Amino acid sequence: MRQFLTASLVLLLAGCYPQGPDYAEDTDVVYTTYDERYDFKSRETYSMPDKIVTDIKIDDGDTTYEFMADKFAAPIFDKIEENMTALGYDRVDLDASPDLYLTPAAIKSTNYFYSYWYDWWYPYWDWGWYYPPYYSVSSYTTGSLIMTLSDPSQAEDSPINRSQTVWVSAANGLASYSYDISRVTKSIDQSFRQSPYLTTK
């Protein structure tokens, strides 16, 4: 009897435990970091591709890229350009030797987890009900938009001919079944809002 009461008490207390996020967008986060020694003020131009890589496939040594559909990529590029223009940068073609490269990439990742409900209801002689153990597999999918700014002129100073990233933004959130591009464009605005040091003015 006492065990039953104790178990009931634990379950009841667990029942009034506060909840966390209610909606997928409640999990949205935007992370940015930058190279503090880099002088953004003296830069004027940048270049950016017109496609967003979402996946890479390697078949027999051949690498092929998968791109985001234009109807989703277009508002993302528009939003990035709008913010870069507001900071004082001009978008130029790749062959016009821009000061900075801006590369966006989108990543979708699915995580699987296993849960195992073990048989903690040990059968007692006076109140024997037994919960059989069962296993379940669940998954969740998160989407990320990553933007990087790099300075191509820095490659000359690098022994491996690569330029360092001077700014990185990573926006991540739990994917919902209704594809909502406004969550992505909002995260782009936020990335630039929390990076006031990018301004050329």
Minimum Å gap between C-beta 36 and another protein is: 5
First to last CA, the chain: 74
**Of residues 31 and 134, the one with the C-beta less far from another protein:** 31
CB of 112 to another protein, least distance (A): 14
Residues that bind another protein (CB under 8 A): 2, 5-6, 8-9, 12-13, 15-18, 20-21, 26-36, 140, 142, 172-174, 190, 194-195
Burial category of 88 from C-beta neighbours within 10 Å (exposed 0-12, middle 13-18, buried 19 and up) = middle
Provide, rounded to whole angstroms, the least separation between the CB of residue 139 and another protein. 12
Is the separation of the CB atoms in 52 and 105 below 8 Å? yes
User: Which is closer to another protein, CB of 38 or CB of 73?
Assistant: 38
Give the nearer residue to another protein in terms of CB position, either 100 or 170: 170
Q: Which is nearer to another protein, 5 or 160 (CB)?
A: 5
Token output for 52? 């967003």
Closest listed residue to residue 46, CA positions, set 146, 187, 150, 145 = 150
Identify residue 170 by its one-letter amino acid code.
A
Quick one: which of 44, 34, 32, 36 has its CA closest to 199?
44
CB of 183 to another protein, least distance (A): 12
